[in-house]
Amino acid sequence: MPTYNSMNYIVLDLEWNQSPRGKEGENPKIPFEIVEIGAIKLNEHREIIDSFSRLIKPVVYKELHHIIKELTGFTMTELNQGDDFKTAANDFIRWCGEDYKFCTWGSLDITELFRNMKYHHIKLPAPPVFYYDLQKVFNIVYENGDRTTRSLEYAVDYLKIETDDNFHRAYYDALYTAYVFQKLELDIIHKYYSIDYFQVPKTKDDEINLVFDTYSKYVSMAFNNKSDAMKDKEVTSTICYKCGRKAKKKIRWFSDNSKVYYSLSSCPEHGLIEGKIKMRKISGERYFIIKILSLTDEKGAAQLKDRQLEIRAKRRRKRQAGK
Ligand SMILES: [Zn+2]
């Protein structure tokens, strides 16, 4: 009988340390150094089939930041007995198997895992890496998708999951996240998958275009600076994600802090579309962008218009004050 590898879910949680003296003494290549990996493996029916837990001896920050110490209860004596990161990460990736999807609470763990792997010259999985951010899904299901981000403790409590109240250790956080995962509707989890932004698309061909029920998402390649990004036709285009037609701009892209840009356009068939571009810094002046287009209504359009007027008024006041 041939062996058949079905897809597993890897619920991942990491604990990390940071410079004990804050920004001073921080290595910008690795602001957060992973000191513990915890993970739970579930099969396609979301049954727990295995677990992984490993302590890692830090080599960049050899003292614990006081908040990390308080939160996790780690001691340096304990961590110094851990594996080196390379061994732990390679064992972990091997343990994940051939066909799997990561599940996490929030988007930080995947980014920091990859950042630490890059720092230690470990090969990253081929991009784009899709994963399930269960904090985002929880937010969509129970908080109507607004900007509230809930802690894992909150979600566990909300879903009446029993715990031993030992949060902030990787294995237990992964286990509790796995319990939350089992309670959320799989269709919704699958529908609202996330993409890792640590590996930015290298070329135009690698750029990412995704269509969800209520919005579309575009992730661009890197640009040398913000204004180059805003000159790119694909960055600024407003194609209706429902029908693929060009939506006519009613308000051109505008911004108040040049980190986020907004626009309003209109599809003859699907109505008003709000555009949002987020600038994400890679290094120096280099940026990539994430563009979200979502259907909106007259109320949403009025809010955008107000925001634009506000920004204009602010600029005018600044200019007059400068005279
Ligand atoms: Zn349309």
Residue with the two structure tokens 């640009």: 223
Looking at residue 319, its pLDDT comes to: 85
pLDDT single digits (tens) 223-260: 999 999 999 999 999 999 999 999 999 999 999 787 99
Q: Give pTM, 2 decimals.
A: 0.85
CA distance 115 to 32: 9
Backbone angles phi, psi at 36, to 5 degrees: -155, 135
Give 127 Cα–ligand 1 centroid separation in angstroms: 30
Say if residues 198 and 283 touch (Cβ distance below 8 Å). Answer: no
Any idea how long the chain is? Answer: 323
Q: How many whole angstroms from 222 Cα to the centroid of ligand 1? A: 28
Q: What's the pLDDT tens digit per position in 29-77?
A: 999 999 999 999 999 999 999 999 999 999 999 999 999 999 888 999 9
CA of 154 to the centre of ligand 1 (A): 39
Q: What pLDDT score was predicted for residue 164?
A: 85
The alpha carbon of 200 and the centre of ligand 1 are apart by a number of angstroms equal to 28
Distance, CA 239 to ligand 1 centroid (Å)?
8
- In the chain, % of residues over pLDDT 90: 82
Q: Is 271 left (phi over 0), alpha (psi -120 to 50) or beta?
A: left
Give the C-alpha separation, 19 to 281, whole Å: 22
pLDDT value of position 323: 62
Task: Specify the pLDDT at position 5.
Answer: 54
Q: What is the mean pLDDT of residues 98-119?
A: 96
Distance (Å) from CA 290 to ligand 1 centroid:
21
C-alpha span between 263 and 146 (Å, rounded): 20
CA dist 119 and 16 (Å) reads 14
Locate tokens 């840009």: which residue?
261
Structural domains of the chain, with CATH: 8-194 (3.30.420.10), 203-322 (no CATH)
Q: Report CA(187)–ligand 1 centroid distance (Å).
A: 25
Predicted confidence (pLDDT) per residue in 169-223, tens digit? 899 999 999 999 999 999 999 999 999 999 999 999 999 999 988 899 999 999 9
Residues 6+ apart with CB under 8 A from 311: 254, 255, 256
Structure tokens at 77: 């004596």
Residue 281: strand pairing partners: 287
What does 158-169 look like in DSSP terms, one character per residue?
Answer: HTT----S--SS
Query: What number of CA atoms fall less than 13 Å from residue 38's CA on the CB side?
Result: 18
Q: Specify the DSSP class assigned to residue 85.
A: H
The neighbouring-strand residues paired with 11 are 40, 103
pLDDT number for residue 256: 79
Q: Contact, 200 vs 189, CB < 8 A?
A: no
**Separation of 90 CA from ligand 1 center, angstroms?**
46
